[in-house]
Amino acid sequence: MAQTLDIALLRSFALVAETAALSRAAERVGRSQAALSMQMKRLEALVDQPLLTRTGRGVLLTVQGERLLVHARRILASHDEALAELAGQSLRGTLRFGCPDDYAQAFLPALLRTFAQLHPAAAIEVVCAATPRLEGRIERGGLDLALVSVPLSTACTILRREDLVWVTPEGAARDGSAPWPDPLPLALGDPDTLDHQAALAALNRAGRPYRIAYASGSLSGLLAVARSGRAVAVLTRSAVPPDLRIQPRASGLPPLPRIGLAVRLDERHASPLTRAFAAHLRAILPKL
């Protein structure tokens, strides 16, 4: 008899992968940790593969678990969309979605367009702000879900990886021989954002003097300062417009780290519309 994948088991597995901890996943779905652990054991027995590795800091997916997660997200999204369609209704209502400015222009058009094709009656209110502000709104109940920037070491599912880069006007390319201003003038996001913290950490490690010429959560403000040539900006690679230049490693500026994109939502109180859009983000964003 052929084995079949249970939707409830796949949904629990996807949540465990998202939270990277059985305890947090159990809290979100209102089940005991023992019950959720039993579900994971049933799923591992069903696929005859180890899916999770327990560590002192939570759980990690095995190679087989990573492979199953890709299929699980696709199956769950198709399952929920099929139920809605066969019931004669697409999902309705209003969704409050948060997205950092630097991802809005690069990713939002495709994400919103493809979701509207599936659920044309749904309305999405988009709030653009820096990640710390979005996470604060999630905690206060002011947003249903948000796309946020996280360090790659964060114990959650990373949907996409983005490079942080040094950005200047097109004519300000450096080959390492021409000196940068001393101290280096910087245009950065708010002090509690990853680009701000990563830039200062990289310069401090390199022993390079700097000054904060401009710090703001406004992407348009950072771009304006970068275009003026008055300061070097730090952006995610996807946010850099064609008229600005990404400085290469040979420019003499220290290397910057990569960061991750993740989805934040309160699973316990998420509506079907919120869950559907979260599943859509997880399925579409890695491909953009």
Mean pLDDT to the nearest integer, 100-128: 90
pLDDT at residue 283 tops 90: no
Mean pLDDT to the nearest integer, 127-152: 92
Give the predicted TM-score (pTM) of the model.
0.69
pLDDT at residue 177 tops 60: no
CATH architecture of 161-258: 3-Layer(aba) Sandwich (3.40)
Mean pLDDT to the nearest integer, 209-217: 91
Tell me the pLDDT band of 86, cut-offs 50, 70 and 90. low
Q: Determine the pLDDT at residue 155.
A: 75
Tell me the pLDDT band of 131, cut-offs 50, 70 and 90. very high
Q: Determine the pLDDT at residue 121.
A: 84
Q: Determine the pLDDT at residue 1.
A: 44
pLDDT tens, 52-72? 988 877 888 899 998 898 888
Looking at residue 159, the DSSP 8-state letter turns out to be: -
Assess contact for 91 and 272: CB atoms under 8 A.
Answer: yes
Same topology, domains 1-89 and 161-258? Answer is no
- Give the torsion through C-alpha atoms of 235, 210, 180, 232, to 10 deg: 20
Percent over 70 (pLDDT), the chain? 93
CATH architecture of 1-89: Orthogonal Bundle (1.10)
3-state secondary structure at position 240? coil
Tell me the pLDDT band of 257, cut-offs 50, 70 and 90. very high
227 CB-near residues (< 8 Å, 6+ apart): 169, 243, 244
3-state secondary structure at position 75? helix
Binning the chain into helix, strand and coil, the percentages to the nearest 5 are 50, 25, 30
Assess contact for 208 and 254: CB atoms under 8 A.
Answer: yes
Q: Write the secondary structure of 96-121 as one string of H (helix), E (strand) and C (coil).
A: EEEECHHHHHHHHHHHHHHHHHHCCC
Q: Determine the pLDDT at residue 247.
A: 92
Q: Determine the pLDDT at residue 84.
A: 64
- Separation of alpha carbons 274 and 280, rounded Å: 10
pLDDT at residue 28 tops 80: no
pLDDT at residue 229 tops 80: yes
Looking at residue 4, the DSSP 8-state letter turns out to be: -
Q: Determine the pLDDT at residue 89.
A: 60
Q: Where are the domains of the chain?
A: 1-89, 161-258
Here the tokens at position 192 are 């509690």
Helices (H) and strands (E) in the chain, counts: 9, 11
Assess contact for 225 and 134: CB atoms under 8 A.
Answer: no
Q: Determine the pLDDT at residue 269.
A: 76
pLDDT at residue 85 tops 70: no
Chain-centroid distance, C-alpha 228? 30
Assess contact for 278 and 146: CB atoms under 8 A.
Answer: no
